[in-house]
Structure 1
Amino acid sequence: MTKQYIESEFSKALANFQKMQSDPALAAQIEAAVSLCVDALRKGRKIMFAGNGGSAADAQHWAGELVSRFYYDRPGLPGIALTTDTSILTAIGNDYGYDYVFARQVEALAQDGDVLVAISTSGRSKNILSALDACEKKGVKVIGFTGGQGGEMAHRCEICFRVPSDETPRIQEGHEFIGHLLCALIESAMFPR
């Protein structure tokens, strides 16, 4: 039983990656997202990240890859995970409600020309959608990561990566892969070896 489950999960993951690989638009989307981020960074702007649960872990992971390093040593890049400051998160949650934990931070920290990487497997997370509202007001560009059809986020982002699955683990695996590609390509564009 366990072996069958493992084999089934491998098969599903591989099938999902094959769908992603055969999507003719994905490479162009990745290139566009890298260009958006590199343009912001070259203008002295920053990249912010937000998500819930496993997507919060991705937000922290990718911000860490930019600030520290990915493939090689180079100067740090300004990446901020809006998921990490418990005092800010609990203050906003208590004073305004959980739907505003990211929007309020965008209001406080963002500048025109910054980029928000917004991660929601469903594309319907209320606190992410509220953050998109704040981004529109502040002139912040949005790169979305969703699954399936993209939910409400699909048409509210400059670029929206929609992993072709309705299963949360498959969506998150796709997000992680694309996120790593972005980090690697941003690093090499900003600091070519």
Structure 2
Amino acid sequence: MNAPEGTGDNTNFLYPFIDGEETDASALLRDLASSARGKADVSKKLQHASLQEWGDSVDAAGADMAQRFARGGRLYTFGNGGSSTDAATLASLFSRPARGRPVAAWSLAADMSVVTALGNDVGFDLIFSRQIIAHATERDVAIALSTSGNSDDLMTALTEAKKRGLLTIGFAGHDGGRMAVADYLDFCFTIRSQSIHRIQESHAVIGYHLWSAMQQHMAHNTRAAATATSGAHS
């Protein structure tokens, strides 16, 4: 069946090998499968390279987060567009993990009434920084996700977070943009790719390893504290 007039090229940018007049379904399916395998291979290699580059920093950030959560700290995540969804997923991983200890975590884009009110009343660039001002303390953690590393509203929020003593972490892409050179970021994990899709996939993997490192450090600190208490009472 031919596509409706004016819509035949809608998928060409995703799958340029698809021809509107294609009649060989098996050849088309082979091409689609080959394309999917190629993208999965590129994504796997990028994730591996990213973990090799940032593994030690991810562990260090996880240790810092564990110390803050032990003092009652909270996590705030934020991003725009697809990165907003990734930020919500990351907050959910920390607050409602399938295993391990849950911690307090919120996505600052989750409440549309707050986001739209701030966007309307004070401007879009302040939708995250105003929430940091309202809720955050020096014990907390701020994680901003951006495929470019250049979003104004994220940078404004990170600046405010650092001013208030929060641990500040950025997830960036391409060359890291402004995040990579910002002195108000404690950690910046840049995914070396030009593809937004591959960047976001690696952001998800880095986020999981950050959560895992935090859990390991919290468990270690709990065991160490228990041992110290036991020794003091013996």
TM-score when normalising by structure 2: 0.75
Q: Which of 138, 146, 160 is residue 120 of structure 1 equivalent to? A: 146
Q: CA RMSD in A?
A: 1.7
Aligned pairs for 1:117-156 (under 5 A) are 117-156=143-182
Instruction: Show the counterpart of 2:81.
Output: 53
Query: 1:32 maps to which residue?
Result: 60
Shift of 1:86: 1.1
Cα distance between partner residues in 2 of 1:108 and 1:21? 34
The 5-angstrom pairing of residues 163-178 of structure 1 reads 163-178=191-206
Q: Distance in 1 between matches of 2:218 and 2:204?
A: 21
Larger Rg: 2
Which runs of structure 1 show a deviation greater than 4 angstroms over 4 or more consecutive aligned residues? none
Match of 1:99 among 112, 125, 129: 125
Structure-1-length-normalised TM-score: 0.90
Instruction: For residues 74-127 of structure 1, give each alpha carbon's deviation from its aligned partner in whole angstroms, at most 9, with x where no partner exists.
Output: 4x3111111101111011000011111101101111111311011111000111
Does the CA contact (< 8 Å) of 2:108 and 2:128 recur in 1? yes
SS at match of 2:188: strand
Equivalent residue, structure 2, for 1:187: 215
One-letter amino acid matched to 2:63: S
Write the letter of the residue equivalent to 2:50: M
Residues of 2 paired with 1:178 and 1:21: CA distance?
7
Q: Measured at CA, do residues 170 and 83 of structure 1 come closer, stay the same or move farther in structure 2, by a change above 3 Å?
A: same
SS in 2 for 1:77: coil
Paired-residue identity, %? 32
Whether the 8 Å contact between 2:58 and 2:213 is mirrored in structure 1 is: no
- 39, 43, 49: which is aligned to 1:9? 39
Q: Which runs of 5+ in 2 are unaligned?
A: 1-30, 224-234
Q: Which amino acid aligns with 2:175?
A: Q
Cα distance in 1 for residues equivalent to 2:92 and 2:75: 11
Runs of 5+ consecutive residues of structure 1 not aligned to the other structure? none
